[in-house]
Structure 1
Amino acid sequence: MKIEVKNVSKTYGKKNALDHISFTLEGPKIYGLLGRNGAGKTTFMEILSGHVLATKGDILIDGEKPFDNQKITESICLIKEGDNFKKDLKVKHVLRIYEYFYPKWDNELAHQLIQEFNLKLNAKVKALSKGMESALGIIVGLASRAPITIFDEPYIGLDAASRKKFYEILLEEYEKEKRIVIFSTHLIDEVSLLFEEVLIMQDGNLALHEEADMLRNRTCSVTGKIEEVEKFISEREVIVKKQLAGMMTAYIFENEDKVNKAGLKAESIPIQELMIYLTERKKGASR
């Protein structure tokens, strides 16, 4: 499927949650949607899912608007960090409701995952722990087999072992049933290797949109004596630089080979650190 975001803005009172953003996503692909709290990520996902309307601009999915459009919304599954399900429903009723709504629903997978995450079919949502409720959301998202599956901080309350299990199952299911997966998370280091493309949002704007491998290959840290590093980075785009005891480390847009050829030490930058420093800038640049 193809998602076209065309000059989209969303305002709440005097606050711009989104400010004239434009980009295109095409699948199948796993996208990392990153940014600090309040960057506009959740607002974007809600508009994409047809839950709210943009103030200006349009989001088109295969040329159609998602709002009040069942043909499109049944191809999108948004799992938020909480309050996905009515509290009085039993787990088995949640599965049944979503089975009716999603044409590609995989009931066998849903029940397999119920066992994997140790959920009880007769348990009510309000009786689930935070981690178990998150597990139920993950199960619905994966079993929906929706062509656009969106996870917005889906694992609140899950321990590290359960999160790892989720990532492994997500990859397995993605290989079986290709789709667009949009993954918004603050635990970036845990999942960054899953991302094929990265979007970083800041203050309602798109700060960066880049293929993950390209981003890794064209950014690095360079370390050496202050005067040598300053000379090397003088004509390059610098993300941030730090110095201590006559030495300097700079995060720059450059590949590691050129740094090594200059006799300086180069290292890759974790995507989480890159996101932090990029969103500290006053202005970002989209691809």
Structure 2
Amino acid sequence: MKIEVNHVSKAYKDTKALDDVSFALSEPKIYGLLGRNGAGKTTFMEILSGHILASEGEILVDGEKPFDNQRLTESICLIKEGDNFKKDLKVKNVLKIYAYFYPTWDQKLADELIREYNLSLNAKVKTLSKGMASALGIIVGLASKAPITIFDEPYIGLDAAARKKFYDILLEEYEAEKRTIIFSTHLIDEVSLMFEEVLILQEGKLVLQEEADTLREHAYAVSGPIQDVEQFTSDKEVFQSKQLAGMMTAYVFGNMVQAESAGLTVESIPIQELMIYLTEKEGAARHVAS
């Protein structure tokens, strides 16, 4: 399903959560939607899911607006970091409701995940720990098989092992049946290898949309004698550097092949480091301007 975001803004009183954002997601991929708190990620996801309206502009899914559009909302599943389900419902009732709502629902997968996460079907949502409530959200998101599945910090309270289990299952399901998965997270280093495309929001604006492989190839660290590194980086975009005992390491955004041919030591750097740079005002301003 093609997603078109056309000059979308969303204001809450004097605050603009989104400010003239435009981009397109044209094919099934795992998209990483990144940014600091207050960047506008959740607002975007709620507009896309048809939960709220934009103040200006529009989001179209296959040419239609998702708000008050049952055909589309049956194809979009948003799992937030909390309060996804009514507190007085039992787990089995939650699953029945979502199985009824989503025509693509996979009951076999839901049953497998209930066993995997050791959830009690008779437990009420309000009695679940944060981790178990997150597990229920993950189960619904994965079992919905919705063509557009959105996870907004879905693992609050889950330990590292349980999170890894989620990532592994998500990848298995995605490889078996491609769909558009939008994943918003602050634990970027844990999940960045899953991303096929990365979008970064800062203060309501889109500061970057790029293939993840391109980012990995173009964000790197070069090390060597100070004079050699300074000479190499003189016309490059450097977003961090450090010196010690006559040696220098610089974090660079540019062509990695040039660094290797210059005889410098080259290492890739995590997407999280790049996100931190791009969401600082100076880095964001450069990329918005370009």
Asked if TM exceeds 0.5, the reply is yes
3-state SS in 2 of match to 1:17? strand
For 2:176 and 2:51, the matched residues in 1 are separated by 28
What is the Cα deviation at residue 245 of structure 1? Answer: 4.2
For 1:203 and 1:246, the matched residues in 2 are separated by 39
What is the Cα deviation at residue 281 of structure 1? Answer: 3.5
1:285 pairs with 263, 281, 287, which one?
A: 287
For 1:176 and 1:135, the matched residues in 2 are separated by 21
For 2:208 and 2:247, the matched residues in 1 are separated by 29
For 2:13 and 2:281, the matched residues in 1 are separated by 26
Which residue number in structure 2 is paired with residue 81 of structure 1? Answer: 81
Which residue number in structure 1 is paired with residue 272 of structure 2? Answer: 272
CA deviation vs aligned residue, 1:201-222 (integer Å, no higher than 9, x gap): 1111111110000111112111
For 2:53 and 2:158, the matched residues in 1 are separated by 32
CA deviation vs aligned residue, 1:144-188 (integer Å, no higher than 9, x gap): 000000000000000111111101110111122210000001111
For 1:281 and 1:239, the matched residues in 2 are separated by 12
For 1:248 and 1:204, the matched residues in 2 are separated by 35
Which residue number in structure 2 is paired with residue 211 of structure 1? Answer: 211
Which residue number in structure 2 is paired with residue 141 of structure 1? Answer: 141
Q: Percent identity?
A: 73
Seen in structure 2, the aligned counterparts of structure 1 residues 21 and 176 have a Cα distance that, compared at 3 Å, is same
Which residue number in structure 2 is paired with residue 17 of structure 1? Answer: 17
3-state SS in 2 of match to 1:285? helix
3-state SS in 2 of match to 1:27? coil
For 1:198 and 1:277, the matched residues in 2 are separated by 14
Alpha carbons 1:2, 1:27 under 8 Å: kept:
yes
For 1:122 and 1:153, the matched residues in 2 are separated by 26
> Structure 2 stretches of 5 or more lacking a match?
none
For 1:93 and 1:209, the matched residues in 2 are separated by 39
> Structure 1 stretches of 5 or more lacking a match?
none
What is the Cα deviation at residue 226 of structure 1? Answer: 2.6
Which residue number in structure 1 is paired with residue 243 of structure 2? Answer: 243
Q: Where in structure 1 do 4 or more consecutive aligned residues deviate above 6 Å?
A: none
Count of aligned pairs: 287
Alpha carbons 1:239, 1:278 under 8 Å: kept:
no
What is the Cα deviation at residue 27 of structure 1? Answer: 2.1
What is the Cα deviation at residue 4 of structure 1? Answer: 0.4
3-state SS in 2 of match to 1:57? strand
Alpha carbons 1:8, 1:56 under 8 Å: kept:
yes
CA deviation vs aligned residue, 1:83-132 (integer Å, no higher than 9, x gap): 00000000000000001110100111111110110000000000110000
What is the Cα deviation at residue 284 of structure 1? Answer: 4.6
